[in-house]
Amino acid sequence: GRQRRRSPVDLRGHHQRAHSRCARALASPRPYATPPVRAGRMASAETAALQREWADVTPIPQEVSDQFCAQINYEPDFAATMDIFRAVIKSGEKTQRALELTEKVIEGNAANYTAWFYRRECLFALNSDLRPELELVTDFALNSPKNYQIWHHRRAIVDKLGDGSEELHFTTQILNEDSKNYHAWSHRQFALQRFNLWAGELDFIQSLLEKDLRNNSAWNQRWFVVKHTDGFHSADVRLRELQYAFEWAKKAPNNESPFNYIRGIMRHPEFDEISTVREFAEHLRDQLRPAPREEDEEDNSEAEHPCSTNPPPLLALLVEVYTSTHHIEEALELCDQLAKVHDTIRQKYWYWKAGRIHAMHHHATVTDVDSAPAAAAASAPPAP
Amino acid sequence: NQVLTGPLNGDGAGGFVGGGFLGPMKSAEEATRYHCAHVSMTYCALLVLSILGDDFSRVDRDAVMRGIRAIQQDDGSFQAVSLGTESDMRFVFSAVATCFMLQDWRGIDVDKTVAFILRSRSFDGGFGILPDQEAHAGAIYCASAALGMLGHLDKVMGDCLVDFLVARQVGGFNGRINKVPDTCYTFWVGGSMQVLGVHDQIDVESARNFILTCQSAIGGFSKVPGKIPEVYPDVLHAHYSVLGLSLMREPGFQPIVAALGMTRRSFLAAPFAQQPGGAKVSTGAPFELPE
């Protein structure tokens, strides 16, 4: 396989130079003087070779003017390569050398969406074998895993190939470096759906949660898989998913993710398992209460473990449960405790929430005692 | 940096580019096929022009609108450039904000746009940048601000979006559940809360303290706390830290209109506000400025 390419920019040197420039600018009487463009810096031998290869085109420089207020001080190699590229896109040449040129442009700036687009045009015009292209994209992605253009290019190539057989392995590679990489998850979802790769995904998610049960991206992926396979409309599935979330919630009761998952299920239009959720939440809360202390022991439970005895995600779930079951006093009491003791950073929110619950209940009792749908509708989003 | 549309780049190219990296474009005939606007640059250009007090008289509104029409997808989302890029909520926001600033909704299918935004609603009440994607404060900002400018905020009735947003505050703000705080999320989260009218629920002291721990010795703000050379300030995080502080009514800072990312002062002086009743949303109703 390809050697993993080194980053095209020497980051440590870059930061050192940037720091020196800052220090000089601050010391200078005119800190915003325009820096000299490319003074005394020569292009490399590699660039000279490129210029010889392209001696038959007239390079097109980027416009420079002292009217421009944010002019970039390009490195000479970068500018020379771009000067050639500008000429090539003007001529529209779609040859092997043009394809190779796009790689150099992309190495200079992997976010150049025009270069990536032009590269695709060259690949398709030349009817190039797209499999080596996947390897190139893998290299670039491992170097710059959060670059939108690289991911779009991968998707376009995979789409054209009509082959998703490498995409789970590829995204797993990226997720091994950063288990929450948003692009990787998005691409993985695309591949799963497009190529029907569902088998094994729940096991993959399980393995990620075993490494980090707070990985919210993995939780989101589980919702995605269930939604597109079994579906949440079945009570059996909802119960299974609730039990799954309950187990993880017990392992770390201050972990938002499984509680959010549970609340998502509660918002499903066919949700009918409120007593199951209530039982779980009340039981867990009881389990977390400190053991009764001897007469002479100080009760330091709140000071020692404020979160572990009253974790906000668990209490927030109970607020939602009690609102749903019309145990309004219990719900309001919890909002008060959260505001004053357990989740004080959200004090204003919890007072607002209490007001919302009060208003809903008041509306419900004033208009119709059995107006459960009205109360539920006030807190529900559109169906997942 | 306004793109001239000619025989090679066509109607879909109208709008603005970020800079001259594609080469000079002295005339529409000289524009190559690749001289195409980027919708986020169009948004930035119009925003900066408004802030600087321009009257938009030199903006080719029709070209911009044709450019917007060319980038909407069948599913209601928008790509960035008519040639072809990824499409997601970022460009939905940029396209909607462009239409709002020109007070011209002819370039977009509003119903399809709203439908795409709602399909991107996450099970936990937030929004992802695409349907089924993890809820992310950046996507939530784009979705909320777009719905606000479209006049369809009522489609996110219900508390669970507020629940999700307030839970992002862990001192500073994070962008997703169980991630570390980053100064720019003060704006993506706080700004979304302003769009929804609940930004006064922010714990200002905690948020402010976090931002200040990210203030650099050489000025500006970084995304996370730390010292040079491990951590550097950058313009993006400086910008969103300042906007975040403004949102929280920092003394001496201008009040802002988070939906667009500009001060209230600039908003009221901008071309799109100079009509009876002020700026309008896509339904024709007045755009409500935040408290």
- Does B22 contact A86 at a Cβ distance shorter than 8 Å? yes
Contact B265, B254 (CB under 8 A): yes
Position A29 confidence tier, pLDDT thresholds 50, 70, 90: low
- Check residue A370 and give its pLDDT: 46
Cross-chain residue pair A62–B20, CB shorter than 8 Å: yes
Taking an 8 Å cut-off on Cβ atoms, the answer to whether B228 and A347 are in contact is no
For residue range A180-197, what is the model confidence (pLDDT) as tens digits?
999 999 999 999 999 999
Residue A290 is predicted with a pLDDT of: 79
Flag whether residue A235 sits within 8 Å of chain B, measured between CB atoms. Answer: no
Handedness of CA A35, A38, A41, A47 (dihedral sign): positive
What pTM was estimated for this model as a whole? Answer: 0.90
Least confident interval from B9-18, B192-201, B249-258: B9-18
Distant-in-sequence contacts of A353-357, Cβ < 8 A, 24+ apart: A353/A319, A353/B159, A356/B159, A357/A319, A357/A323, A357/A328, A357/A331, A357/A332
pLDDT reported for residue A73: 85
In this prediction, residue A364 has a pLDDT band, given cuts at 50, 70 and 90, of low
Of A90, A94, A104, A146, which is the active-site residue?
Answer: A146
Partner B contacted by A330 (CB < 8 A) = no
User: Which residues of B are less than 8 Å from A352 in CB distance?
Assistant: 198, 201
Report how far residue A322's alpha carbon sits from residue A328's, in angstroms, rounded to the nearest whole number. 6
Nearest Cβ partner for A216 among B156, B166, B176 = B176
Is the pLDDT assigned to residue A239 strictly greater than 70? yes
The 3-state DSSP class for residue B263 equals strand
Minimal C-alpha gap between A276 and chain B (Å) = 19
- Show residues of chain B in contact with A82, CB under 8 Å: 21
**Which residues in chain B touch residue A189, judged by CB atoms under 8 angstroms apart?**
132-133
The residue among A36, A88, A83 whose CA lies nearest residue A62 is A83
The answer on pLDDT for A1 being more than 70 is no
Residue A36 has pLDDT above 50, yes or no: no
Q: Which of A208, A205, A197 minimizes the C-alpha distance to A241?
A: A205
- Which chain B residues have a beta carbon less than 8 Å from that of A216? 134, 176-179
Total length of chain B:
291
* Dist CA B284 CA B277 (whole Å): 10
> For residue B134, which residues of chain A lie inside 8 Å, CB to CB?
182, 185, 216-217, 220
| Sole residue written with tokens 């690949």 | A123
pLDDT in tens, A65-106: 877 877 888 899 999 999 999 999 999 999 999 999 999 999
| Span A280-331, pLDDT tens digits | 999 999 999 877 666 555 555 444 444 478 999 999 999 999 999 999 999 9
Q: What is the pLDDT of residues A142-157, one digit of tens each?
A: 999 999 999 999 999 9
pLDDT tier, A27 (very low <50, low <70, confident <90, very high otherwise): low
Q: How far apart are CA A134 and CA A153, in angstroms?
A: 9
What does the pLDDT average to over B88-106? 98
Report the pLDDT value the prediction gives residue A304, as an integer from 0 to 100: 45
pLDDT tens per residue, range A367-377: 544 444 444 44
Query: Is residue A124 scored above 90 in pLDDT?
Result: yes
E-strand spans in A220-356? Answer: none
Is A146 one of the catalytic residues?
Answer: yes
Calculate the alpha carbon distances from B16 to B167, B190, B255 in Å: 37, 29, 28
pLDDT digits (tens, 9 = 90+) for B29-51: 888 999 999 999 999 999 999 99
d(CA B197, CA B275): 24
Tell me: the pLDDT tens digits for B121-136?
999 999 999 999 999 9
To the nearest whole angstrom, how far is the Cα of B279 from the nearest Cα of chain A?
Answer: 29
A15 to chain B, any CB pair closer than 8 A? The answer is yes
Instruction: Please say if the pLDDT value at position B104 is more than 70.
Output: yes
Distance (Å) from the C-alpha of residue A380 to the closest C-alpha of chain B? 5
- State CA A255 to chain mean position distance: 18
SS3 B87: strand
